[in-house]
Structure 1
Amino acid sequence: MNRESNGYTFLFATVMVVLVASALAFAATALKPDQEANIKKEKMQYILKSFGVAVERDASEEAYKKHIISEVVFDENGTEISKDAFTVDIAKEKGKFPIFNAEKDGKKFYVIPVRGMGLWDAIWGYVSVDENLKVDGIVFDHKAETPGLGGEITQDYFQKSFIGENVFDANGNLQGLKVVKGYQGKDNKADGEVDAISGATLTGNGVTEMLVRGLKPYEKYLKSNKK
């Protein structure tokens, strides 16, 4: 075949496209198990970090087995439907509410996954509540919030501001957790409120909505496990 002909050029281009596509497909298939394993380990890191256990990714499975003593999934009526909380994707599986029962230094914690919308895209996190129904720790992440503004929800100073906050009010009703612009409560840990991030009002509103809505289905479970 004449290498300078249009037919040869078309055939060559077609063969190259097929070869490259095949190589990419093979690479994606070969890498998928590693990608899934990394996603699993990262999720374990989030859960562990929420109650103060910070480990490297490769150590997450061992730490998870050590500190997570049980898992529960229940429906909107509070009926237990499974003990495999880890595989539940709350973004896709509506009506399923997973919770992770953890233990560290002889103390028990209840880790609750939450998910919502920030200014630009999804935000999510894990809230660790102790036996007195106070926040022991919290971890947030996001897909596309603005660096230096809404993206600050991933920073320690913001996440630590929730520690010690009461999830329930004085009457025993779940009040959730709220991000408040111009908050004046200072060290008041009874109101479930923390100061907002400057310049990130809409992201803060998304965090509030996520936490109030996301914690509500766990009210009955948390009350029944209060120390």
Structure 2
Amino acid sequence: MKLSQCAWLILAIVLLSGCFSHSGSSSADLDKTIHTSLYPTGKYKIKREDPQRVLLEVAGLAEQQQTAKALIKTDLVAVVVDFKQHRLIQQPQVVARFDPSKVAYTQLDPKQNLAHLPKRPEQIRIYLKHGNRHQPAEVIVPVQGMGYFSMLYGYAAFNLHTLRLERIGFYQQAETPALGGQIMTNKKWLNQFSGKQVLNNGQPVFKVAPRHGHASIHSFDAISGATHTSKGVANLLNYWCGPAGYGPFFAKLSSQAS
């Protein structure tokens, strides 16, 4: 190889190596890196289950030998929460006409709410489950909030008399597979939420236990290797049970059930 050819080859190698060097990153690339580290979304594939099936599991109706549509119609009573007007819509005719696809949204600052939500529907459909005396015994509500890598979507059931958690389940997430992704599959971990109390004297205080096996009524054990995802679950429950979420409506429903 001629000397001039070697020189050009060396120059090409140097230039190409610079394309992969992080030392010469632009400020835009640096901003993107910082943003990704603070809000690390979209890293893993979205995992999704049938929301109706998860709703029935959380409502304690999964073992019934009927279709999901029939069970929701016969065993659950739909109610619409109107956040904008601070009221519960319970008239069957009005609720039957409710269309989630036409609901307006309120823009939120993700840094200013526990669930890190960018927006929230102004109306949400929730469900009441009757007890043995045909009185509302449980309320099943949609919940969502930021985990570690993704937005988490699910349902939570609460006892209307004590406001303790009965069951919780998730139908969509994109957390780390086999770690945070267990929020959809680890039944033992999900079962620990039964009987937990998110509120203390009306204030949301739910958290991850400081050490595994030392959970109290107001805390729970994290998924091993997925503390950030677990904290996301605590945050979203605190948000939705608090004054900006279903908290005021839980109080109304609880008084009606008494």
- When normalised by structure 1's length, the TM-score is 0.68
Given candidates 129, 138, 152, the residue that maps to 1:102 is 129
**For residues 15-164 of structure 1, what are the structure 2 equivalents within 5 Å?**
42-54=50-62, 59-76=67-84, 78-80=86-88, 83=95, 87-88=99-100, 94-106=121-133, 108-131=137-160, 132-154=162-184, 155-164=186-195
Structure 2 CA distance for partners of 1:221 and 1:117, relative to 1, 3 Å: same
Q: Structure 1 125/178 Cα, relative in aligned 2: closer, same or farther at 3 Å? A: farther
Cα distance between partner residues in 1 of 2:240 and 2:155: 10
CA deviations on 1:119-172 (whole Å, 9 max, x unpaired) are: 222211101001221111111233321222101111211111110012321x2x
Aligned length: 183
**Alpha-carbon shift at residue 79 of structure 1 (Å):** 2.2
> Counterpart of 1:83 in structure 2: which amino acid?
V
Q: Within the alignment, does 1:213 sit opposite 2:239 as a pair?
A: yes
Give SS of 2:198's match: coil
Match of 2:225 among 184, 199, 202: 199
Q: Contact 1:85 / 1:99 at 8 angstroms: preserved in 2?
A: no
Is 1:175 matched up with 2:215?
A: no
In structure 2, what is the Cα distance between the partners aligned to 1:134 and 1:74?
23
Alignment CA distance shift 1:48-1:87 (3 Å): farther
Query: How far, CA to CA, are the matches of 2:88 and 2:123 in structure 1?
Result: 10
- State the one-letter code of the partner of 1:163: S
User: Secondary structure at 1:83's aligned position in 2?
Assistant: helix
Ranges in structure 1 where 5+ consecutive residues have no aligned partner: 1-38
Say what the alpha-carbon RMSD is for the aligned residues.
3.1
Q: Secondary structure at the match of 1:101?
A: strand
Whole-angstrom CA distance in 1 between matches of 2:74 and 2:235: 32
Q: Give me the TM-score of the superposition, normalised by structure 2.
A: 0.61
In the alignment, residue 120 of structure 1 is paired with which amino acid? Answer: F
8 A contact 1:110–1:129 mirrored in 2: yes
Alpha-carbon shift at residue 63 of structure 1 (Å): 0.9
C-alpha distance 161-60 of structure 1, shift in aligned 2 (>3 A): same
User: 1:224 maps to which residue?
Assistant: 252
Sequence identity (%):
25
